[in-house]
């Protein structure tokens, strides 16, 4: 069973070795509607913390040339927010650790100035002028202005289980951990972006919330998820369904595994689990990413002893970001990490019976969160 809520996994994990060399982030994505035109617009808000044991009076930015020359590693809270579409942007606001108040135990709560993240609430604002963005490449962000005030209800979970059950004990075992407390989440409230105001409602937000933590990022890096799904078999909207796929090439004690993905489909209350770490399921996965002139394209096939899930996703590159992060060691390895929230595609779900596959449903998906990036680990 993967739909098991556990807010202790949303607690801050930067203890022990990870306090000196680790990151932890809480990601939120959702769709809002323009209050004037009614048009959909997808947004994201993320709280990213790094290396608390290396804190100084000011945020330590790893891409600042002076810090790189001095061998300083990053240490800060970064509030990241932005949008997808032709006007896509990512905005970053940095705080020193002394500027934030954190309840690290469950239920988590992080607060700095007007920015707050918790299990049920998100508030904040970021304003970056074009002159500031140009003068500070170490901020790794664009120019723009965004503010938000949101309530959230995390409804369906993807509890990965293996590798995250006792994060303090085996904090060095995996390079990157994942927990999706709200792979289907309901948001309500408002967003203001570059002078326009957007409303957010539970019925039309198609919301998502998860977290990652560890000492480094995976390569390749894959993420696909949506709960805006319609059945081709019945023609009806699937009101109680969501799929979520993530991973790439996990490392255990610095040793990379073959290309592996964690994937699940919660189909109208029934669970289909393609988690490679559950050995009894005998999961097999193949995936590819294609960067065409105007499109990013994902193909994923996952199989266990009970079922098969085939996923194909498309997203317009003009709607996507090359999203920026620096690792806890200060290096920025992912420099072509495609990230989008306007993907579309299909998911074919088969069940196995009597040695044959039976198509349970072909599902049309929109408002797909999607990500892919890869770098040479030898660099």
Highest mean pLDDT among 170-174, 294-298, 353-357: 294-298
For residue 276, the model assigns a pLDDT of: 83
Cα separations in angstroms, 84 against 64, 177, 273, 323, 367: 27, 25, 30, 11, 11
Cβ burial of 131 (10 Å; 0-12, 13-18, 19+) is: exposed
Residue 341 confidence (pLDDT) above 60: yes
* pLDDT digit string, tens, across residues 124-173: 999 999 999 999 999 999 999 999 999 999 999 999 985 443 444 444 55
Structure tokens at 97: 């650790």
Structure tokens at 81: 């927010």
CB atoms within 10 A of CB 355: 5
- 19: DSSP letter: H
To the nearest 10°, report the CA torsion of 132, 22, 107, 250. Answer: 110
Name the average pLDDT for the chain. Answer: 93
Res. 104 pLDDT band, cuts 50 70 90: confident
pTM, 2 dp = 0.95
* pLDDT digit string, tens, across residues 15-35: 999 999 999 999 999 999 999
- 67: DSSP letter: H
Element housing 123 (H / E): strand 121-128
Instruction: Cis check for the bond before 133: say yes or no (omega within 30 of 0).
Output: no
For residue 120, the model assigns a pLDDT of: 98
């Amino acid at each position: 069973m993967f739909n098991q809520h556990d807010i202790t996994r949303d607690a801050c994990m930067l203890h022990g070795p990870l306090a000196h060399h680790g990151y932890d982030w809480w990601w939120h994505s959702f769709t809002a509607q323009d209050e004037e035109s009614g048009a959909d617009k997808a947004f994201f808000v993320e709280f990213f913390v790094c290396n608390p044991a290396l804190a100084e009076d000011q945020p330590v930015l790893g891409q600042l040339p002076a810090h790189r020359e001095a061998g300083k590693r990053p240490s800060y809270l970064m509030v990241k927010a932005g949008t997808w579409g032709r006007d896509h942007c990512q905005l970053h606001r940095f705080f020193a650790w002394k500027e934030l108040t954190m309840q690290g135990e469950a239920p988590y709560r992080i607060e700095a100035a007007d920015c707050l993240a918790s299990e049920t609430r998100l508030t904040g604002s970021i304003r970056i002028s074009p002159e500031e963005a140009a003068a500070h490449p170490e901020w790794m962000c664009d120019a723009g202005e965004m503010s938000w005030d949101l309530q959230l209800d995390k409804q369906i979970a993807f509890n990965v289980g293996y590798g995250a059950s006792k994060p303090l004990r085996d904090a060095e075992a995996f390079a990157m951990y994942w927990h999706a407390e709200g792979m289907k989440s309901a948001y309500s409230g408002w967003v203001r972006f570059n002078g326009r105001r957007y409303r957010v409602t539970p019925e039309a937000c198609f919301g998502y919330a998860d977290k990652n933590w560890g000492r480094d990022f995976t390569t390749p890096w894959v993420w696909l998820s949506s709960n805006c799904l319609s059945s081709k078999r019945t023609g009806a909207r699937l009101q109680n369904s969501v799929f979520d796929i993530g991973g790439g090439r996990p490392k255990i004690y610095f040793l990379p595994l073959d290309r592996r993905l964690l994937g699940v489909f919660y189909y109208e209350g029934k669970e289909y689990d393609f988690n490679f770490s559950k050995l009894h399921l005998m999961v097999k996965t193949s995936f590819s990413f294609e960067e065409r002139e105007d499109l990013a394209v994902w193909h994923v096939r996952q199989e266990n002893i009970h079922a098969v899930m085939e996923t194909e996703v498309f997203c317009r590159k003009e709607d996507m970001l090359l999203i920026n992060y620096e690792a806890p060691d200060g290096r920025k390895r992912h420099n072509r990490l495609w990230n989008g929230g306007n993907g579309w595609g299909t998911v074919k779900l088969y069940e196995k019976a009597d040695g044959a596959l039976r198509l349970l449903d072909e599902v049309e998906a929109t408002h797909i969160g999607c990500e892919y990036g890869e770098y040479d680990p030898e660099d």
